[in-house]
Chain A
Amino acid sequence: MKFKKKQASTKQNVPTASLPDIIFMLLIFFMVTTVLREYDIKVQYTLPSATQIEKIDNKRIVTYIWVGRDGRVQIDDNIVVIPEIQSIAAKKRREVPQVIMSLRVDEGSRMGVVTDIQQQLRKGDALRINYSALQKI
């Protein structure tokens, strides 16, 4: 006696009609979560390199301070003078209490500028800082 396999009469294929929707959802998720904040960097700088560096995971709490080769200081999109930094730092600190000030200083700058900026940051009560550096190979 032969057994015949029963076959369902319905079509056997995975419905793919909702696939585009799923992919679009993914796409929108990625588009929303990526932080696109580009700054016009108006100073020229080369970061120093170090071996013991850490990553900052949360980009949203970081404020960058650039110091260029010529000693000009930029915060966000503006060139600032050093005495202004205190009030800017205080404002940032009010907006984001756990703010990290990331110093992107040209490797050839003099420490005098950096010390002055640090003094201003201390007065502005933005105490968490980070010296941006690249991984030394």
Chain B
Amino acid sequence: MAMLRKRSSRDVEIPTSSMADISFLLLLFFLVTTIIDVDTGIGLVLPPPVEETDIVKMDPDRIIKVLVNSSGDVLINDEVATLAQIHEIVANKLRAKPKMVVSIKTDRETPYRVYIGALDEIKQAYNILREEYALQTFGAGLKELSKEQMDSVRDNVRQSISIAEPERTR
């Protein structure tokens, strides 16, 4: 007696309705696991190498010299200050004469942390001035400005931070 396999008449199909859910899960997995770590920091542009440019002697009245020594003491135009005072002093000097160049110089033994702190303070001084300029011309704080207005503020209160030429020690 032959065994006959019963054949169902239903049409055979893989259910694909859950496919969307599966791919959604995959998508979410990738979205969650990718670490988008944005690099943040203080941007600067270095001066071109000395061989190419002749050293321009600047009028000493136009420079705000910020010297930082190894123990974190600060000298601004030959006046002793502390790190936390830098933004105030520099902002005052820039307010009096806007086109001044801020020159920062450190000792070889100065900790990097202190240098970044000083640079941060100088940036902060410029930010104070920009905020003031924005309030004067547009009547709004820096955060409420449009992109064009922001560019105009940047153009009018230009940052000029210079890294002083290191002295030859070796």
**Is A97 close to B, CB under 8 A?**
no
Interface size on A, residues (CB 8 A): 52
**Is B12 close to A, CB under 8 A?**
no
Contact indicator A56/B26 (Cβ below 8 Å): no
- Known contacts A111-B112, A119-B166; A128/B27 CB under 8 A: no
| Chain A residues within 8 Å of B47, by CB | 122, 127
| Interface 9-mer from B34-42, B55-63, B95-103 | B34-42
Tell me whether chain A's interface is mostly helix, strand or loop, or mixed.
mixed
Contact indicator B45/A131 (Cβ below 8 Å): no
Contact indicator B109/A110 (Cβ below 8 Å): yes
Partner of B41, one of A51, A106, A130: A130
Interface size on B, residues (CB 8 A): 43
Partner of A129, one of B24, B45, B116, B166: B45
| Chain A residues within 8 Å of B110, by CB | 110-111
Q: Give bound CA distance, A107 to B127, whole Å.
A: 24
**Is B119 close to A, CB under 8 A?**
yes
**Is B9 close to A, CB under 8 A?**
no
Contact indicator A27/B27 (Cβ below 8 Å): yes
- Known contacts A34-B34, A107-B111, A111-B111; A50/B23 CB under 8 A: no
| Chain A residues within 8 Å of B117, by CB | 48, 50
Q: Would you give the shortest CB distance from A42 to chain B, in whole angstroms?
A: 18
Contact indicator A132/B39 (Cβ below 8 Å): yes
**Is A9 close to B, CB under 8 A?**
no
**Is A96 close to B, CB under 8 A?**
no
Residue of B nearest to A109 (CB): B112
Residue of A nearest to B113 (CB): A107
Contact indicator B116/A48 (Cβ below 8 Å): yes
Contact indicator B45/A127 (Cβ below 8 Å): yes
**Is A121 close to B, CB under 8 A?**
yes
Beyond contacts A52-B120, A54-B43, A110-B109: 12 other A-B pairs, Cβ-Cβ < 8 A, are: A19-B20, A27-B26, A30-B30, A30-B31, A48-B112, A52-B124, A107-B113, A111-B112, A128-B45, A130-B39, A131-B42, A133-B120
